[in-house]
Amino acid sequence: MRRYGRFWRRAALAALLAAGPATARDREAEELMRRVQLAMPEVPLEMDAEIRVLDRKGRVKKSVSARVDWTPRDGGRVARYVLLDAFGGESEEMTVELGTGGAGFSYARGYPLEPAEPPNLFEPIAETGISWMELSFSYFWWPGPRIVGAERVASRWDCQIIELDAPADYPGERPWSKIRLWVAPVYGAVMRGEVWQNGQALKRFEVQSVKKLRQVYMIGSMEVKNLETRQRTRLKVGRMKMVSPDYTEEELEELNAPITW
């Protein structure tokens, strides 16, 4: 597969050289993002997902099915996203390697899948409202987090607002200048995010529910709203299977229950 390399190693080094001594607030932001990273599943998972484009009344206009293979590794995770066509065939594949050194992206497409030049990671996937960047959650590993405020989300989650600048090393047009994440310290979980460019928020995503499999938690539903066009797109995770011989099918089915946040 064609690969994008570790985009922000140089950006992170430049930021470290340019920045002064870390403040207590900086260290708090770093620790919060470290907890967000650690909260990502640490067991191998197979998941079925669906990207749904909604109309103004919340009805599904378009749906794209996907499969996700999630694998832990030392210091990070590897996620393989496969888009499926209307007949269940594999049409696109993006593999994302996440870790302290940044993220690596590998891409393939076609029938059968063949290595290809990766698309712009910030552009919508298959004419939906979700990009590869949002789907990958790779911005959890962006360098230089800083706390810019606090807010209660959904009247119950006390969150710190963390801002991260988009690394400059991405090839092609980069329509994001930064992202803001609403992190609930008590869970080490991101409840909301906003994409910014030229001083304006362009997109907002909200975590609506989570799925639980034994002691493993994963996003169950996330809605992305384009604040310019008002288009809404929902990422919905369906079947979630732990890739392990330790559990029976009955145990996995019993424990694969959604939890509303």
What are the tens digits of pLDDT across the range 127-171? 999 999 999 898 999 999 999 999 999 888 899 999 999 988 776
Domain that holds residue 69: 2-260
Cβ burial, residue 24 (10 Å; 0-12/13-18/19+): exposed
pLDDT value at residue 17:
41
pLDDT value at residue 5:
54
pLDDT value at residue 2:
53
CA distance 28 to 33: 9
pLDDT value at residue 20:
52
Q: Decide if 216 contacts 43 (C-beta within 8 A).
A: yes
Residues of the chain with pLDDT under 70: 1-22, 101, 171-174, 213-216, 244-261
Residue 231's CB: how many other CB atoms inside 10 A?
Answer: 18
Which pair of tokens denotes residue 237? 């995770």
209-230: buried (b, 16+ CB within 10 Å) or exposed (e) per residue?
ebbebeebbbbbbbbbbeeeee
pLDDT value at residue 253:
62
Q: Decide if 161 contacts 146 (C-beta within 8 A).
A: no
Q: Name which of 238, 235, 249, 2 is nearest 135 in CA terms.
A: 235
pLDDT value at residue 76:
82
How is residue 124 annotated by DSSP? Answer: B
Q: Name which of 25, 9, 22, 254 is nearest 160 in CA terms.
A: 25
Domain count, the chain: 1
Q: Give the CATH number, domain containing residue 53.
A: 2.50.20.10
pLDDT value at residue 244:
65
How is residue 125 annotated by DSSP? Answer: S
CA distance 43 to 77: 10
Beta-bridge partners for 226: 203
pLDDT value at residue 8:
44
pLDDT value at residue 73:
82
Cβ burial, residue 247 (10 Å; 0-12/13-18/19+): middle
Phi/psi at 187 (5° precision): -115, -15
Q: Which amino acid is at 24?
A: A
